[in-house]
Amino acid sequence: MFGLGTPEIILIVIAILVLFGSKKIPDFMQGLGKGIREFKKASSNIQDEINKPVEEEKKPDAEKKPDAEKK
């Protein structure tokens, strides 16, 4: 994917442990999880807002079809 093998990942984990310490990592991961969750929620809300006008445009077409069949 990014050319990261096992040795590189181990080196990154060790660097994170040295920089942040073992006590701060759970708080960091919790904050990261909250950030990802908020991003997904915002993304979902934006998709809903985009799809809402498309769905509203389809409804009048469905209502017009029965009128056309009556004639």
CB 42 within 8 A of CB 50: no
Please report the pLDDT score of residue 24 as a whole number: 86
**Signed CA dihedral, 28, 31, 33, 35: sign only:** negative
pTM of the model: 0.51
- Residue 28 pLDDT level (bands cut at 50, 70, 90): confident
- Residue 64 pLDDT level (bands cut at 50, 70, 90): low
Please report the pLDDT score of residue 55 as a whole number: 72
Which residue ranges make up each domain of the chain? 22-70
- The answer, yes or no, to whether residue 65 has pLDDT greater than 70, is no
CB 25 within 8 A of CB 16: yes
